[in-house]
Structure 1
């Protein structure tokens, strides 16, 4: 049974770029949805210079498949926002070396 993952994009403010928000868990069963959403977001911002923020503040779990996708898109992502309990996972995996990762402000 696939793990529940919800994804949506929005533009939180004038000229502030595009936000891809996820909630649930990201693992091998649904990582293709994340990959597709990231590809669509990157295509949407194109070469406009807009920033892409990936909001994982409501993501409870990521596995190595999710880490690989985030790493593959690191050049296009301006910032990743995570729940503090995911911060160490992204540090250990090296994602924080590729893109700015900030804990959500609670």
Structure 2
């Protein structure tokens, strides 16, 4: 069993929500991740901080694509190849 997913959302004064994820995003918890993304982008743009994510499967990538027009991503070098190969890095501002 991998690292449990932890999601934390924080609204900023400028109206941007910071959604921080840590652990693994996979089939067992992608619904919770999708729901958190929906909540975070409800009022506008969200920054999705994936620097604490150790594993991101295709369901997690799909959830990010679904919200690509309303998110910016912070990531670690570990996930950058996945975001690049999937094409997500071309659609979304990604910061390492």
Q: Provide TM-score, normalisation by structure 1.
A: 0.82
Corresponding residue for residue 25 of structure 1: 24
Q: Give matches, 1:5-84, under 5 Å.
A: 5-12=5-12, 14-15=13-14, 17-43=16-42, 45=43, 50-77=44-71, 79-84=72-77
Structure 2 Cα separation of the partners of residues 10 and 87 of structure 1: 24
What secondary structure is seen at the aligned counterpart in 1 of 2:59?
helix
CA contact (8 A) 1:10 1:19 kept: yes
Q: Which entry has the higher C-alpha Rg, 1 or 2?
A: 1
**Cα separation, 1, equivalents of 2:85 and 2:92:** 13
2: distance between equivalents of 1:37 and 1:74? 14
| Structure 2 unaligned regions, length at least 5 | none
Residues 82-105 of structure 1: CA deviation (Å, up to 9, x unaligned): 1111101100011111101111xx
> In 1, Cα distance between the equivalents of 2:49 and 2:92?
13
Aligned residues: 96
User: Which ranges of 4 or more aligned residues in structure 1 deviate by more than 3 Å?
Assistant: none
What TM-score does the superposition give when structure 2 sets the normalisation length?
A: 0.90
CA RMSD in angstroms comes to 1.7
